[in-house]
Structure 1
Amino acid sequence: MNWKPFIRENGLHLSWVVALVATLGSLYFSEILQYAPCKLCWYQRILMYPLAIILGIAAVRKDKRIYLYVLPLSVWGAGISLYHYLMQKTELFQEGAKACGLVPCDVDYIDWFGFVTIPFLALTAFVLISVVMVLLWAAGRGEAGKNARSEG
């Protein structure tokens, strides 16, 4: 199966669904279950919430070059999520968790299967969005070259 047509047709919608589920999930944890977000959770939200809007608009408009705007947000978000996850799961980074604010950053509200925490869920979402955006960029590179050759 050639992946490029699939990504060109579905990549924006897939990444929008991931961002939307992540946004709604974080709101569920904080507003329904009343889990107070720590400072790093807020930074992750600041990077994820706009992605749900930007990717939704890009999916409607079929803007294949949205990766220019999405990748910086998703890569930064993945970095913060990874740091946050390491803070929760390793002793190496736990020293800074206490200085995180009113809610320490090493609090595990959920711990499914011994490794799935809220920062892990955010990391997964940011990585999925980043991978789809890189694939969308790669699929567009081949298409741009093909269009240039057909015009020339």
Structure 2
Amino acid sequence: MSKKLENSLLFMWVVSLIAMMGSLFFSEVQHFEPCKLCWFQRILMYPLVIILAVAYVQKNARIAVTSAIFSCLGVCIALYHYGIQKIPALQESAISCGRVPCTSDYINWFGFITIPFLSLVAFILIAGTSFYMLKALKEEK
């Protein structure tokens, strides 16, 4: 496996680890209760930490297919979640999320950085790197 692919695996693992640690910080240290959409994003991000760590140790770049699927699903959920927080027209038709409304934002740094935005960035970074790896693997053959 090339050094570029190995570094890409490491990058994706670091991004997923930071995302997981960040979400745990918000819920366990800051005591922000996650809404249902946050839980779905966690369900897609947390396994990536383990999957990508194992792939990095095994030098298995073919895991990019799996990480692309998980992260693309995560992008869709995070984008919708961010949209219902920031676009008034979407807020009116937003799904009911239980005890914690999905439209609430615990943080709002610089007027646009919310928890779903942070999740979206992490999923985009992982998805982009996954597609880069898939392209590199195809070119190596």
TM-score range, shorter chain: over 0.9
Counting aligned pairs with the same residue, the percent is 51
Moved segments of 4+, more than 2 Å:
95-98
Deviation at 1:69, TM superposition (A): 1.2
Alpha-carbon contact 2:91-2:103 (below 8 Å) kept = yes
Deviation at 1:140, TM superposition (A): 0.8
Structure 2 CA distance for aligned equivalents of residues 96 and 44 of structure 1: 20
Alpha-carbon contact 2:45-2:71 (below 8 Å) kept = yes
Code of the aligned partner of 1:10 = N
- 2:119 maps to 122
2:89 counterpart SS class: coil
Structure 2 CA distance for aligned equivalents of residues 82 and 61 of structure 1: 32
Code of the aligned partner of 1:91 = P
Which residues of 2 match residues 25-104 of structure 1 at below 5 A?
A: 25-97=22-94, 99-104=96-101
- Show CA shifts across 1:1-40 (max 9, x none): xxxx553230000000000000000000000000000000
Code of the aligned partner of 1:125 = A
Between the two proteins, the alignment pairs up a number of residues equal to: 140
- 2:9 maps to 12
Which of 117, 126, 139 in structure 1 is aligned with 2:136?
Answer: 139
Alpha-carbon contact 2:6-2:61 (below 8 Å) kept = no
Unpaired segments ≥5 residues, structure 1:
145-152
Task: Give TM-score scaled by structure 1 length.
Answer: 0.89
Q: Which moved more, 1:99-108 or 1:18-27?
A: 99-108
C-alpha RMSD of the superposition: 1.1
Code of the aligned partner of 2:72 = V
Residues 98 and 64 of structure 1: is their aligned pair in 2 closer, same or farther, counting only changes over 3 Å?
A: closer
Code of the aligned partner of 2:98 = G
Code of the aligned partner of 1:139 = A
